Amino acid sequence: MIFEKIRTVPRSNELLDKAFRRGSRAKNGKISYNTKREAEVSMIMTAGNILSDNLANVVRDFPSFNEISPFYNELADVIVGVDKIRMSLSSVQWASKKIKEISRVNISKIYHKEDPKLTRQSAIGRMSSVVNRISKDLEFLDETRNN
């Protein structure tokens, strides 16, 4: 079927765990020889990049329903609903862009002398909120992939 080659769509908690674990490692690697400010920036940047890249990859993996054959388009519509897939992919794409924006804005705040730890906590909270908001879409896309 058309969804065979799509990689497994990660769950929201898996994504968050992966991103924040790697972000924490990036932060800890910077503390010894850089300032705490740069360590907090490193964590936000790493976590934000991992989240936004993984979400963008989910969207990129799915076929464009404008470019597949009418047979497969109709089949996908009957099985899961093309409009529902498009809406879920749109939500995931929105989340990817929003997380990039959150990262950029909060890194800028740290460089403009706001409290680095509070800014990082705020950024992590907002990123988590965005990913949790699309958790149902990620689950639906994974189920779609399995059909």
Rounded Cα–Cα distance for residues 16 and 36 (Å) = 23
C-beta neighbour count of 24 within 10 angstroms: 13
Is residue 19 within 8 A of residue 95, CB to CB? The reply is no
Mean pLDDT by 10 residues, the chain (147 residues): 79 95 82 72 94 95 82 81 92 98 95 89 96 96 87
- Residue 146 pLDDT: 83
- Residue 73 pLDDT: 77
User: Of the candidates 118, 112, 121, 96, which has an alpha carbon nearest to the alpha carbon of residue 24?
Assistant: 121
User: Of the candidates 76, 19, 2, which has an alpha carbon nearest to the alpha carbon of residue 53?
Assistant: 19
Rounded Cα–Cα distance for residues 16 and 33 (Å) = 27
- Residue 2 pLDDT: 67
- Residue 113 pLDDT: 83
CATH topology (fold) of 12-60+70-146? Four Helix Bundle (Hemerythrin (Met), subunit A) (1.20.120)
Is residue 103 within 8 A of residue 123, CB to CB? The reply is yes
- Residue 51 pLDDT: 97
Domain spans, the chain: 12-60+70-146
- Residue 33 pLDDT: 46
- Residue 31 pLDDT: 57
